[in-house]
Chain A
Amino acid sequence: MEARVEREPARASAPPRGRAIVITSGKGGVGKTTTTANVGAALAALGHKVVLVDADVGLRNLDVVLGLESRVKFHLLDVLEEKATLDEALVRDKRSENLSLLAAAQTREKEDVVTAQMVALMERLRERFEYVLIDCPAGIEMGFKNAIAGADHAIVVCTPEVSAVRDADRVVGLLPNDWRPQLIINRLRPLLVKKGKMLSVDDVNGILRLPLLGVIADEPGVIVATNRGEPLALDAASETGAAYRAIAAKLAGADIAAPSVRVPGTGFFSKLGSLFGGRA
């Protein structure tokens, strides 16, 4: 009988590549940037090496949401055009050394980005980080195309509104065929759902039919945290922060049930299940 040589798995020879996940929505203002910052911060807090890429060239926001605006010296286009090295352009987060940011150019246009260069840059980032989260601009034009070009997975952010669901549906249709995008429903108001005044989680996902990554309530705390440049995901006392942390854990492979959503003003923590249906 022939002796078998134990071999190292193939992966050990090639360096492991991180995942490049684009956070997209079609419709503007539904919470892509807020989601990117919070999920990124939560992933870093779990000990993963994370870089957040602001792909919204011309409308830089992610640095502000993270409170890192004063540290940005170079941006994505500087790196693409070799005016700065990647190391010079990466901004280290003040709270976590696992978290870095690559800011967008504020005074340039989305058309200035060469898609092939963007793909190559994402590849480089995937060699250095476990998670590359790409904050996609609104719309489905060039900026969207560049943002998804270097990614291998998508998170679709949608609010419980007709226009947002419609645009999310359109965006899902534009993503590569072999992706299985995941859904985050943002700005849900449980009381309104209960009163039949807002689309429920089931209403939204009955249409989109995507794997549900999480649900985030509409809550003033998100705005307060953004004012301060402190992601809510790092606030241990916040229920919404916990929802972001659950999303991060789920993304990282933990078997986590859908988080609960706080009913504002009642101090009552409602299990998500009861919010799925709403009134007929």
Chain B
Amino acid sequence: MLDFLKTLFNPPPPPSSTTAKERLRLVLLSDHLSLSPETLAALKADLLAVISRYVEIDSSHADVTFEHRENDVAVLASIPITGVRERTQPPAQATLPLEMSAIDTETHAVQIDAGSESVDTQAMNDTNASENGATSTPVTGVVSAATRRRRRKKAQNLANRSNANAQQLGKPAQA
């Protein structure tokens, strides 16, 4: 009887394999994020390119980091806005500067939960961040090591190609 009441008020915890799966997801997420500085650089460049389509930004003071929280990992972007673009309609097609067009969106090793993207209120209370308007987006997915290896190769090819293009146009190649 007591057992019955116990189960009535405390539903059984989820099977431990579910807990294991969730812990594994988070642990790998943070492993992969801390493992790939190139990915972080590519993500930052893409992010700045997209945001600068809408507002003028000071990209030299932009900061993109990952924050490990209790139940997820989030991308935190702090990007100073210097002005507003004179345009009401968003551009139909992305026009990236030449250096950036080489960055393949597929090389990103993170998947984000776009639905729950929000302005991070905690960051907004922070004096510095509130001026910059920090955004926090939970990171929900992680790409397997095998997939990352393939993408690394692809990114390398793209980078080589873009360097060749830049040289053809008389521009200095990207580092």
Contacts and interface: CB of A to CB of B under 8 A. Distances in A.
A166 B20 CA distance: 11
Given A172-B146, A207-B24, A209-B147, A200 B31 contact: no
B50 to A, nearest CB: 28
Given A162-B27, A173-B35, A198 B147 contact: no
A210 B146 contact: yes
14 contacts: A166-B27, A166-B28, A169-B31, A170-B31, A173-B149, A175-B149, A177-B149, A180-B146, A181-B146, A197-B16, A199-B24, A200-B17, A208-B144, A209-B146
A196 B16 contact: yes
A18 interface: no
B17 to A, nearest CB: 5
Nearest to A183: B146
Interface residues of A, number: 28
A209 B148 CA distance: 11
Nearest to A180: B146
Contacts of A143: none
A279 interface: yes
Given A207-B25, A208-B144, 10 more contacts: A162-B23, A166-B24, A166-B27, A173-B145, A181-B146, A195-B15, A197-B16, A198-B16, A198-B20, A210-B146
Contacts of A233: none
Given A177-B153, A279-B15, A199 B144 contact: no
Given A177-B153, A199-B21, A209 B144 contact: yes
Contacts of B15: 195-197, 279-280
Nearest to A176: B149
Contacts of A170: 31, 145
Interface in A234-280: 278-280
Interface string B143-161: 0111111001100000000
A209 B141 CA distance: 14
Interface string B69-97: 00000000000000000000000000000
Given A173-B35, A196-B15, A197-B15, A208 B145 contact: yes
A203 interface: yes
A186 B148 CA distance: 24
B144 A198 contact: no
Give the most central of A161, A169, A180, A207: most B CB within 10 Å. A169
B18 interface: yes
Contacts of B153: 177-178
Interface in A166-194: 166, 169-170, 172-173, 175, 177-178, 180-181, 193
B28 A177 contact: no
Nearest to B16: A197
Nearest to A204: B24
Nearest to A175: B149
A100 B115 CA distance: 59
A207 B28 CA distance: 9
Given A173-B149, A177-B149, A196 B31 contact: no
Nearest to B22: A162
A203 B21 CA distance: 7
Contact of A198 (B17, B31, B146): B17
A165 interface: yes
A196 B149 contact: no
A196 B27 contact: no
A279 B21 CA distance: 12
